Structure 1
Amino acid sequence: MKLTTTRSAAILISATLIAGCASNNPYQSSTPYSSPASSSVQPRNSDIGVIESINLNRAGANSSSSGAGAVIGGVVGGLLGNQIGGGTGKTVATVAGVVGGAVVGNNVEKNRNPASPDIYEIRVRMNNGNSTNLLQDNIVNLHVGDRVRVVDGRVYLY
């Protein structure tokens, strides 16, 4: 009985998987998708324009930390400083450990969190008279005054 149930379940699962691959779509094409570069379709006039300005937004310039590194570093530094000396020397060592640990912990946190990449804001005056601002992570060979084509939110030389 168990063998029959297992065999029936395997057949049912196989049939379901095979049926999921079948398609009744009459519009299905056997040709692969073509890339925009190999397409013979001419760009619309509204996709072409001239770069008016390029501004660099430095994302990593104002990198900040959450403060967790400073707190953890301060606690560890305080515990280590408290192990040194006795009396007033112990208090001084604890305070120095807290301050030093906080500074080191903050720097470690900043170094562990990678800075965001720089972003370029490109303003393009389109041939139809509209202006558009686009954000890109690089501007390889793009300059103000260049004639460009906008494809999927990216700017390319035309």
Structure 2
Amino acid sequence: MRLRLFLVLIPLAMLAACATPGGGYYSQGNQYHRPAYDGYARCQSCGVVEKIDRVYGERESSGGGAVLGGIIGGVLGNQVGSGSGRAAATAAGAIAGGIAGNNIERNNKSAPWYELYLRMDDGRRIVVTQRDLNGIREGAYIRISNGRAYLN
């Protein structure tokens, strides 16, 4: 009985050793991809980049940067001089800080960001928005972590 079981299990073990694991990568040019969705999710937070759009922000500011810059500039200007010179330095610091804060806010808002259109392993299609690509290209296999896409 044991010999018969042993003779059946040996060929089965040899066949199992020859099997290739499902879900492996395949190569297309110099990029590696996973096979198309077949009904089984391999990685809940992994997928392929289908398209990348570069989006430009607005050139306008809300005024928050100017207010914050004015406050900081006024506080720093108040540290300089004494008497009426201190008042002038406070006013000049507030004005200069307001201008600088407004420009910083406007430049930050106008910086481009990227919308990555992804096809996830479980079949979902999602869009992730982030400021930088960090080497991600169309066709790349990525992982989503904390709302950002990273090369996997």
What is the TM-score when the length of structure 1 is the normalising length?
A: 0.40
More strand by proportion, 1 or 2?
2
Larger radius of gyration: 1
What is the TM-score when the length of structure 2 is the normalising length?
A: 0.42
